[in-house]
Amino acid sequence: MHIHILGIGGTFMAGLALLARAAGHTVSGSDANVYPPMSTQLEEAGIQVREGYQPDHLTPPPDCVVVGNVMSRGRPIVEYLLDSAIPYTSGPAWLAEHVLRGRWVLAVAGTHGKTTVTSMLTWILEQAGLQPGFLIGGIAQDFGVSARLGAAPFFVVEADEYDTAFFDKRSKFVHYLPRTLVLNNLEYDHADIFPDLASIQRQFHHLVRTVPGSGRIIANGADTHLSTTLAMGCWTPQEHFVVGDWLAQEVESDGGAFTVVHHGEPQGRVEWTQAGQHNVHNALAAIAAAHHVGVPTAQAIPALASFQGVRRRLELRGTVNAIQVYDDFAHHPTAIATTLAGLRARRRIGKLIAVLEPRSNSMRLGIFRQALAPALKTADQVVLYQAPDLDWDLREISAALDGKAQVRDSIDATIDAVCAQSQPGDTVLIMSNGGFGGIHERLLNSLRMRFGTPA
């Protein structure tokens, strides 16, 4: 079967393309401005990606078109698709029907940490010899890809609350029918499709309704928004982490080591390379989910010791003259503050320079503009990129940061500003949920030129 994917460069749809290819289908796709790491993953898999969304991309007609949620009515290719009577479906629906049916699905949902917990959980199951299938919204360093079919029965999926497609406005995760569900946290986000927090909680409760009574829900016991959601009705046994059944004790200041406690009994000590209190909580969630499918905690703990992390989640992109440049997907004030805190907790980071591109739909709408300055306050210096299509002025954020922030209206000027402030031993954190014009390598090259360091 020939499957053509519209919006193939997105993290979810690129993973779906790998799964379809592994299942024996011919796969092609269309997208605009595809950037690494997904563009690289698709290229290495030999999947043809056509630039843009021209109707002739569907000529000759494929057997099925999988429509990403980036597509909307009025696009010529969508109108052509609807007129042509070519069979079409959404990504989550295709995944549910062709991959998840008959599998034990472990789904990870939440506003923050989905990609990291999904990767941790998958790695624990892998190290336990279970060969799980997975679909992750990023490239797990331990696997080098974002998706694989794996062996039955287990499949781990990152469960996103964003809407499914232009013809299905339910959240993606309602399609997955998990037996094990992780609820990591819940905040207001995706202001382009959700008017308020209550509307997001409603979608999360739809997800809760799909978990069987023989399954398990593993929820952050310290999150009041999740507690309120579960109080709307729950028919599945629950376990709680952070507060409740699964705890972390004797936590080192940078999160580099902690003791796992289950029902009051110490289970062992995690010593790993990950940083931050948020990753300690992520680890508890992954351990608890793995425990539900039969992986002993004593086996999960050493698996996390070898966990390498996820690309674009506090990923070290390079070091020039002792200046470390990190990349992070942070796109929400809470994620920004948490990531900065995780870096700050590490020893010997020098001056911490934060570089932010407000790119998510919620950011572009200015929903979080009042929360951005407080989220950035722990950085020593801040450089804000004012993209040409950003409709509100970042100088109001700069003004609230007491003179330690500056705004630049081009990527070149942003790089120049960072280079001018950087000294040996400093740490640069670049935050965006997009490609940011390839700023990471461009900055590293500029630093090499400044310091005369060979590439």
Which pLDDT tens digit goes with each residue over 94-127?
999 999 999 999 999 999 999 999 999 999 999 9
Q: What is the mean pLDDT of residues 5-16?
A: 95
Residue 356 has pLDDT above 90, yes or no: yes
Helices and strands in the chain, H and E counts: 15, 23
Structure tokens at 290: 């793995």
Nearest to 227 by CA among 215, 212, 213, 238: 238
CA torsion sign for 300, 301, 306, 309 is positive
**Alpha carbons 100 and 92: distance in angstroms, whole number:** 10
Cis peptide preceding 62, ω within 30 of 0: no
Residue 158 has pLDDT above 80, yes or no: yes
91, containing H or E segment: helix 91-95
**Alpha carbons 324 and 328: distance in angstroms, whole number:** 13
Q: Which CATH class is domain 2-90?
A: alpha beta
C-beta of residue 278 within 8 angstroms of C-beta of residue 284? no
Residue 282 has pLDDT above 60, yes or no: yes
Architecture of domain 315-451: Alpha-Beta Complex (3.90)
Q: Please tell me the number of Cα atoms within 13 Å of 173 on its side-chain side.
A: 33
Query: What is residue 402's predicted lDDT score, i.e. its pLDDT?
Result: 87
Task: Please state the pTM of the whole predicted model.
Answer: 0.87
C-beta of residue 383 within 8 angstroms of C-beta of residue 355? yes
Query: What is residue 39's predicted lDDT score, i.e. its pLDDT?
Result: 87
Q: How confident is the model at residue 307 (pLDDT cuts 50, 70, 90)?
A: very high
Cis peptide preceding 92, ω within 30 of 0: no
Q: What is the mean pLDDT of residues 179-199?
A: 93
State the CB neighbour count (10 A cutoff) for residue 323.
25
Tell whether domain 102-305 is in CATH 1.10.10.60: no
Residue 348 has pLDDT above 70, yes or no: no
- Give me the percent of the chain exceeding a pLDDT of 90: 78
Structure tokens at 199: 């509307």
Residue 411 has pLDDT above 70, yes or no: yes
Cis peptide preceding 60, ω within 30 of 0: yes
Query: What is residue 450's predicted lDDT score, i.e. its pLDDT?
Result: 87
State the CB neighbour count (10 A cutoff) for residue 202.
14
Nearest to 54 by CA among 85, 30, 86, 82: 30
C-beta of residue 31 within 8 angstroms of C-beta of residue 8? yes
Query: What is residue 313's predicted lDDT score, i.e. its pLDDT?
Result: 82
Q: Which class for 321: exposed (0-12), middle (13-18), buried (19 or more C-beta within 10 A)?
A: middle
DSSP 73: T
**Alpha carbons 455 and 214: distance in angstroms, whole number:** 56
Query: What is residue 329's predicted lDDT score, i.e. its pLDDT?
Result: 84
State the CB neighbour count (10 A cutoff) for residue 144.
12
168, containing H or E segment: strand 168-171
Q: Which residue is listed with tokens 């990591």?
A: 184
Q: Is 366 left (phi over 0), alpha (psi -120 to 50) or beta?
A: left
CA torsion sign for 127, 132, 136, 139 is positive
Q: How confident is the model at residue 9 (pLDDT cuts 50, 70, 90)?
A: very high
Residue 168 has pLDDT above 60, yes or no: yes
Among 219-228, 260-269, 336-345, 376-385, name the one with the lowest average pLDDT.
Answer: 336-345
Q: How confident is the model at residue 454 (pLDDT cuts 50, 70, 90)?
A: low
Domains of the chain, residue spans: 2-90, 102-305, 315-451
Q: If you average pLDDT over every residue of the chain, what do you get?
A: 93
Q: What is the mean pLDDT of residues 302-311?
A: 92
Q: What is the mean pLDDT of residues 391-403?
A: 90
Residue 455 has pLDDT above 60, yes or no: no
Q: Which residue is listed with tokens 């382009």?
A: 192
CA torsion 428-432-436-442 (nearest 10°) is 20
Q: How confident is the model at residue 448 (pLDDT cuts 50, 70, 90)?
A: very high
State residue 178 phi and psi, 5-degree precision: -75, 155
Query: What residues contact residue 230 under an 8 Å CB cut-off, 6+ apart?
Result: 183, 208, 217, 219, 238
Give Cα 185 to chain centroid, integer Å: 14
Q: How do residues 54-84 score in pLDDT, each as one tens digit?
A: 999 999 999 999 999 999 999 999 999 999 9
417 or 437: whose pLDDT is higher?
417
CA distances from 268 to 247, 262, 288 (A): 12, 10, 14
Among 15-29, 260-274, 347-361, name the one with the lowest average pLDDT.
Answer: 347-361
Q: Of 30-39, 208-217, 327-336, which one has max mean pLDDT?
A: 208-217
Nearest to 160 by CA among 15, 336, 341: 15
Structure tokens at 423: 């000294």
| 55, amino acid identity | P
Cis peptide preceding 374, ω within 30 of 0: no
